[in-house]
Every structure is written in C-alpha cells, then in structure tokens.
Amino acid sequence: MDHGAILSSSLTYVKETCRPDRWFYLFVYLLINAVTLCIVPLFSGYLYRIMEANPGIPAVSGIKDLFIKGWKMNITGIIYAIPILIIIAVFYLLITGITPAPANSPDSLGPETAAVLIGLFLAAVIITIITSILISLISTFGIVRMTREGKIREAFNFREILASIRTIGWLDYIAAIIILIVCALALSIILEIIAFAFWILLGAFGSMVTMFLFIWLLIIILLAAAFGVFTARYMALVYNSRTTP
C-alpha cells in the first residue's frame, strides 16, 4: 500500500469536491445532520456516495437517495456500537451493585470496596478502549464494503472483511488508520488555533461578538465537511488497495 499516494490523492479529491457551489450543499447537509442529531443524515448519505464512487465526484442532488444511504450508515453504526454499550451497561450494573446506597463520599466506602470499585472502573475503561479499537478497525472497512455491495448485511460480513484486511496486510491497514488519526489531530489543532484567534478578536471587539461567533461556527462546519469528504475518500482508497498490486 502506497500511503503517500493515498493521502495525496485524498487531498486532491477534497480540493476537487469542495468547490464553492458543492461546498455550500455539503455545509447545509452537515448542518442538517447536526441539528437533527443524524435523524436526517444527508451528509452521511453523501459520504456513502463518495465511498461507493470509484472514481468520481458524486452529485449533491437526490435528497431521497441521500436520506436512505445516510440511514444505512446510521443503522450500521448503531449495530456496531451495541457491544460497547453492553460492556458499559454491565460494568455500570456491577459498580452500582457494589456501591452502598448512601455513598456520598469516599469515606462511606470501606477500603476493600473502594479497591474493588477502582479495579472495576479501570477494567471497564481498558476493555471499552480495546473493544472500541477492534470494532473501529473492522467497522471502518465494513462500512466501505457495504457501500460497494449496497447491502447493510455486507457491513457485517466478517469473513470477507477480515480476508480483505489480510490481503492488504494488518500492519499496512493499521498504519493507514494511524495516518488518518494524525490528520484528525492536525485538524483539531487547527480548530483550536482558530478558536484562540477568535477569542483574541472577541476581547478586542466585544461588541461584534455575534458576527465573530457566526464566522467561527461557519469555518468549523466548512472544515468538518471537508474532513468528512477526505475521510470517506481516504478509506475508499484504502479499501481499493486490496486489489492493487
């Protein structure tokens, strides 16, 4: 897998996709996604189109199709989240079952009970993190497979998903995911710098707070839309690499 070529191609794709006319639609779709808490997942539907397109830039039209494909993404994400929710629920019940009812302060717990609770809490954190990582590695590939096959059940075809990852190579695949995480961290740093800059501007021009907040939110949504496009195309290319010599 040529990680550099995939990264470069994904960035070029973002540049070609996020033209002002199309970026406006992506901005609106992402805003609708956020405001409706993904009940109207138009932006998710567009990311679905990006991952199924090979190659090409999908059209932004077709609200009904975007809605349906967005909900395919939602359903897949919900199903993959179930194991994590079960783990959290089990540990929550264990912890609340051990904790005495009037536990208003650490002093109300005996040393043995406190040790058990700390152990359970740490176990819950570790198991949740490990499970989340494993599910993320499989679900990310599974979602792309779903977009290619057009069926939700293909997102859970673990035999084919694992076979494809083995074809790429686990080390190459994990390296690709790490690169994506680094890109996400870089974006978060950029957003923090922008937030700090606006905080300084607000201190100097407090009377224009509404305008500055509006511009700040606008920039965040536009960058988030661009990063969503980047992520979808990046993972599509990673998926394609399983058949690339």
pLDDT of 102 reads 53
pLDDT tens digits, residue range 134-182?
999 999 999 999 999 999 999 999 999 999 999 999 999 999 999 999 9
pLDDT tens digits, residue range 180-236?
999 999 999 988 888 788 777 776 666 666 777 788 788 889 999 999 999 999 999
Do 142 and 75 touch, CB atoms closer than 8 A?
no
Instruction: Determine the Cα–Cα distance for residues 178 and 187; give it in Å rounded to an integer.
Output: 14
Residue 131: exposure state from Cβ atoms within 10 A (0-12, 13-18, ≥19): middle
Residue 199: exposure state from Cβ atoms within 10 A (0-12, 13-18, ≥19): exposed
Q: What percent helix, strand, coil does the chain show, rounded to 5?
A: 85, 0, 15
Which alpha helices (DSSP H) does 36-169 contain, by range?
42-52, 63-98, 111-149, 158-168
pLDDT tens digits, residue range 84-100?
999 999 998 888 877 66
Do 52 and 66 touch, CB atoms closer than 8 A?
no
Cα dist. 181→70, 76, 190, 193, 226 in Å? 23, 21, 14, 18, 15
pLDDT of 195 reads 79
Question: What predicted TM-score, i.e. pTM, was given to this entire model?
Answer: 0.88
35-47 per-residue burial string, b: 16 or more CB within 10 A, e: under 16: eeebebbbbbbbb
